[in-house]
């Protein structure tokens, strides 16, 4: 299928392009990343984000996509349609994840966030505005799980109500990335709607295993892909500033894989340095090779993990924990190994930490493409996607 015959896609809050990659590679077999994407039904015609550097990354990897580095509140839908060479009703999809800051647990100590009064919550309305004015055949919205919490019940009800009024019959579900072959225990909510009003059915998990909150799982499915499996064929080089030094450097090196600062409390085998549950879970957190990674942080502090399970000597010969290297971050996000990123190490961490893991996005978009008739079931997993019995969950 030539680019001219592919359905154009509008990408909002695009960031470095996790959902955009999923759109581009939706025809690739699950958990495969060929050098060139398998020709599929969609092309990302236009992408917008307020962070120019993230769009520079997207443009570097998807040069045929028109990019708009501007606040969505100052970007008319007509301009997005014009830049994507579309008219109303021609877009195959609108995709995007409005910034999660207003709904992130990390901001719950702020009163305006606890009470769901954050002004950035209006970005959900901007997403609805573009759907209303562009009338795509379908849309996919992604956000943090906290959007579904009681704290933000009114915002979520308004979002679903507005999309329902447009005739899209929105369906939503919280998905665990590891359940779809991503070596990361990241939970995200997806909202999907079709212009024809037919209910979207979410894909059934293809993998299973213990998570941070559950020790029960479907043992008939393949086990979650571990960080060790994800890194198995990877050869990396040391990166500047990768060792964890400073006040807690020595303590971090003593934390075993799979443990965090709690190792250094009176209940575990390390030093008695911290009070029980006095820090965030990610403080001094180390990966373990036999389990998926915890959620990658977009803006971690110097002692916020997950860090690699291996220690390396510093220039004084002292063992120190090390941060994850960029190729390892890409593997944990199921991005292609040859994906190029703009900016410093901190910039790269922010772009990837804010992104949608490609295989998670691909699973949702592949299910949608199959149900819309744009892909043919070509594997047992595709048959599962067509048979999936995911249902809508309504907030009353």
Catalytic residues, by residue number, are: 100
**Which regions of 271-393 does DSSP assign to beta strands (E)?**
293-294, 311-313, 319-321
Omega cis (within 30) before 315: no
Helix (H, G, I), strand (E, B) or coil at 191: strand
Residue 130, judged by CB atoms within 10 A of its CB (0-12, 13-18, 19+), counts as buried
DSSP string, 14-77: -TT-HHHHHHHTTTSPTT---SSPPP-SEEEEEEEES-HHHHHHHHHH-TTSEEEES-GGG--H
CA distance 161 to 152: 14
CA distance 7 to 142: 21
Phi, psi of 86 (to 5 degrees): -125, 160
Phi, psi of 294 (to 5 degrees): -75, 175
Q: Are 268 and 201 in contact (CB under 8 A)?
A: no
CA distance 99 to 142: 10
């Amino acid at each position: 299928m030539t680019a001219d015959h592919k359905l154009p896609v509008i990408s909002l809050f695009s960031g470095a392009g996790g959902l955009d990659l999923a759109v581009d590679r939706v025809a690739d077999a699950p958990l495969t990343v060929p050098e060139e994407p398998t020709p599929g039904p969609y092309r990302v015609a236009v992408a917008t984000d307020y962070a120019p550097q993230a769009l520079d990354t997207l443009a570097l990897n998807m040069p045929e996509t028109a990019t708009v580095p501007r606040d969505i509140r100052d970007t008319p839908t007509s301009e997005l349609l014009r830049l994507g060479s579309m008219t109303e009703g021609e877009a195959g999809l609108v995709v995007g994840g409005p910034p999660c800051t207003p709904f992130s647990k990390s901001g719950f100590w702020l009163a305006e966030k606890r009470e769901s009064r954050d002004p950035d919550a209006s970005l959900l309305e901007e997403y609805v505005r573009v759907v209303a004015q562009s009338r795509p055949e379908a849309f996919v919205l992604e956000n943090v799980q906290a959007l579904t919490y009681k704290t933000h019940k009114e915002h979520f009800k308004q979002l679903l109500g507005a999309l329902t009024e447009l005739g899209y019959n929105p369906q939503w579900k919280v998905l665990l990335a590891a359940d779809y072959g991503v070596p990361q225990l990241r939970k995200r909510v997806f909202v999907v709607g079709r212009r024809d009003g037919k209910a979207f059915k979410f894909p059934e998990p293809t993998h299973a295993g213990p998570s941070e909150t559950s020790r029960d799982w479907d043992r008939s499915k393949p086990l979650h892909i571990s960080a060790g499996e994800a890194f198995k064929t990877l050869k990396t080089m040391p990166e500047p500033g990768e060792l964890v030094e400073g006040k807690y450097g020595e303590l971090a090196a003593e934390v075993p894989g799979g443990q965090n600062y709690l190792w250094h409390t009176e209940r575990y085998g390390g030093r008695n340095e911290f009070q029980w549950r006095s820090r965030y879970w990610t403080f001094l957190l180390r990966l373990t090779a036999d389990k998926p990674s915890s959620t990658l942080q977009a803006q971690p502090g110097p002692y916020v993990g997950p860090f690699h399970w291996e220690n390396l000597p510093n220039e004084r010969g002292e063992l120190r924990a090390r941060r994850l290297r960029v190729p390892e971050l890409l593997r944990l996000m199921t991005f292609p190994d040859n994906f190029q990123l703009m900016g410093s190490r901190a910039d790269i961490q922010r772009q990837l930490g804010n992104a949608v893991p490609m295989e998670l996005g691909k699973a949702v978009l592949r299910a949608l493409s199959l149900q819309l008739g744009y892909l043919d079931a070509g594997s047992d997993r595709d048959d599962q996607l067509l048979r999936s019995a995911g249902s809508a969950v309504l907030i009353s």
